[in-house]
A = this chain, B = another copy of it.
Amino acid sequence: MTNKRELFQIMTRRFGLLNKNCCSVGGHDLSAAQSHILYEIDRAEAPSMQQVAESLGTDITTFSRQIQSLVKMELIEKSPSPADRRVSLLSLTTTGKFVAATIDTQMNGYLDEVFSYLTPFERETVLRSIDLLNGAMAKSDRCCAPIRDDQAEDTTPNDPE
């Protein structure tokens, strides 16, 4: 209660568990990482590989392979950008959209159950708080953004851009 870190440690652990083998839809069994990828592609407008890898904080080579397997699963399509043929634009296939929507429903179901233990007022408050928190994290540059290098206690003001 007193300690911020304690609260967040517990929370992230629980969410980690929730996400563990996050979603099986039909025959497909997706990992949390894969679900995040689908989510992000759905959200953005035909993003490039780099864009998605960057916003998920995944190494581009790892991401390349993650995409390869999602393409093989026929959830994602890659098409060369007309503007720059080095770039691959990502989009969800029809199946991919369906899977993404189903996961969304599932997750909302889980969350509804969790929220059922709260009063309507508490629900409201919690949702608003998460929103505030997301906003605050977005503003922070010390954390929560893709970190390139070490962030040792010495706090060298390195700027990786």
B17 contacts A145, CB within 8 Å?
yes
Q: Give A96-114 as 1s and 0s: 1 = Cβ < 8 Å from B's Cβ atoms.
A: 0000000010111011111
Q: Determine whether the beta carbon of B114 is less than 8 Å from that of A125.
A: no
- Interface 1/0 per residue, A128-161 and B, CB below 8 Å: 1111111111111011111100111100000000
CB-CB under 8 A from A112, the residues of chain B are 4
Whether A64 sits at the interface, judged by CB under 8 Å, is no
Do residues B127 and A125 form an inter-chain contact, with CB atoms below 8 A? no
Task: Report the interface size for chain A: residues with CB under 8 A from the other chain.
Answer: 63
Chain B proximity of A12: nearest CB distance (Å)? 5
Chain A interface, >50% SS class: helix
* Given the contacts A5-B107, A127-B4, A17 and B57 also touching, CB distance less than 8 Å: yes
Q: A4, B129: Cβ atoms under 8 Å? A: no
> Contacts A132-B118, A132-B122, A143-B18 hold; do A111 and B57 have CB atoms under 8 A apart?
no
Q: Decide yes or no: A127 and B5 within 8 Å by CB, A57-B16, A114-B136, A136-B117 being known contacts.
A: no
Flag A39-73 by CB within 8 Å of B: 1 or 0 each. Answer: 10000000000000000110000000000000000
